[in-house]
Amino acid sequence: MEKEKWIFIVNPIAGNGFARTLVPEIEKQIARHGIDGQIVFTERIGHATELSKSFLEKGYKYFISVSGDGTLNEMARPLVNNKDVVVGIIPAGTGNDFIQILGFPGRFGEKEWEIFFRKNTRKMDAGTVNDMIFLNGMGLGFDAEVAAENYTETGEVKKGGAYKYILQIIKVLLFFREKKMKLLSEGDQHETDCFINTISIGRRFAGSFFLTPEALADDALLDVCSIRKLNLYNRFRLLLKVPKGEHIRDKMVHYFKTPALEIEFAEKVPFHVDGELNFAKSFSVKVIPGALNIIYNPDGNHFFKRQ
């Protein structure tokens, strides 16, 4: 019987080079579990999509991203709604927000490697915004500006870690200026000043911020956290509530679930898709139910509906 083929797509610069250091361990795990596995490296932005499509055409079944959230997003694009393949991630980025959905920690120990190769899978949703997919979430306003701070003027990702995130967040808190937007969801339309508008499949962003703490990755709904214009005091007050998800009960927060929504600004604004920066004026956002078969930890604190 022919072995099922695994491809490990490694972003060698993820986690300031941490992903590359995992290659010997991956090779050891391939040998230990007797799988037909190959390891390849990404060389540029968008390369993970090219590699994923190429290995899909070669009949590979297991597609594993060794990276942060952005490279996982790239790899998964050709795999959405393909019932014959399985997606997994070995977290190696800086924030590693997506891995929380699956019940794994941000770094694997011996226990996590063993659980991972048991190949427990669940179907999970994905989202689309203007025909781009997101697996964890997208954001407009404050969190998009924080994402923008992560890029240089030439479009390169800045190096740094958790400390860098905190500095970016404080800078944006002090100087961000809200823009008006129109939001249409299930026939309800209203206009608001956008401080934050996070739309998600997962719950956690920027390493420790649970902006959508009630999100489930398999309920066929998007979770939306919309926060209107805030003065500086309320920005810091609400920010302190976000790590525990307590902000959603505040009167200045509109939190809801929906399968789709439309958003319109008067001019182009930054937005992030799984942490990657983009710009647009209009946004058409939808959920794709059961978009991916994904490896998860059934015994972990995952963000799926309990069976």
Task: Tell me the pLDDT tens digit for each residue of 183-233.
Answer: 888 777 878 888 889 999 999 987 778 999 999 999 999 999 999 888 999
Residue 250 makes CB contacts below 8 A (sequence gap 6+) with: 238, 241
Q: What is the pLDDT of residue 260?
A: 95
- Give me the residue label for tokens 């250091």: 21
**pLDDT on residue 193:** 86
Closest CA to 98 of 270, 307, 296: 296
**What's the pTM?**
0.89
What's residue 296's pLDDT? 97
Torsion of CA 141, 143, 148, 150, to 10 degrees: 170
Cβ contacts of residue 80 below 8 Å, gap of 6+?
Answer: 126, 133, 288, 291, 292
Q: What's the pLDDT at 142?
A: 85
Helices in 95-148 by DSSP H: which ranges? Answer: 110-116, 142-148
The architecture (CATH level 2) of 5-119 comes to: 3-Layer(aba) Sandwich (3.40)
Tokens of 307: 């069976």
Provide the pLDDT for residue 184: 84
Mean residue pLDDT of the chain comes to 90
CA-CA distance, 20 to 18, in Å (whole number)?
5
Topology adopted by domain 132-288: Tumour Suppressor Smad4 (2.60.200)
Instruction: Give the tokens for residue 238.
Output: 């609400």
Of 12, 88, 80, 21, give the one whose Cα is nearest residue 44. 12
pLDDT at res. 150: 66
pLDDT at 154: 45
The answer to whether residue 147 scores a pLDDT higher than 80 is: no
Which of 21, 25, 20 has its CA nearest to residue 10? 20
User: pLDDT of 14-66, one tens digit each?
Assistant: 998 999 999 999 999 999 999 999 999 999 999 999 999 999 999 999 999 99
Dump pLDDT digits (tens) for 92-146.
988 889 999 999 999 999 999 999 999 999 999 999 999 899 999 999 988 788 7
If 0-12 CB within 10 Å is exposed, 13-18 middle and 19+ buried, where does residue 4 land?
Answer: middle
Return residue ranges of the chain for CATH 3.40.50.10330: 5-119
| CB atoms closer than 10 angstroms to residue 243 | 14
Q: Residue 238: which H helix or E strand, with range?
A: helix 232-239
CA distance 210 to 213: 5
- The tens digit of pLDDT for each residue in 236-271 reads 898 889 988 999 999 999 999 999 999 999 999 999
| Percent of the chain whose predicted confidence (pLDDT) is above 90 | 69
Other beta carbons less than 10 A from residue 88's beta carbon: 23
Q: Which amino acid is at 119?
A: K
Q: Are 273 and 138 in contact (CB under 8 A)?
A: yes
* 86 vs 88: CA distance, rounded Å: 7
Listed in order, the ranges of the chain carrying CATH 2.60.200.40 are 132-288
Q: What do you get for the CA distance between the two ends of the chain, in Å?
A: 32
Report the distance separating Cα 12 and Cα 223, nearest Å.
Answer: 32
| Candidate from 163-167, 267-271, 294-298 with smallest mean pLDDT | 163-167
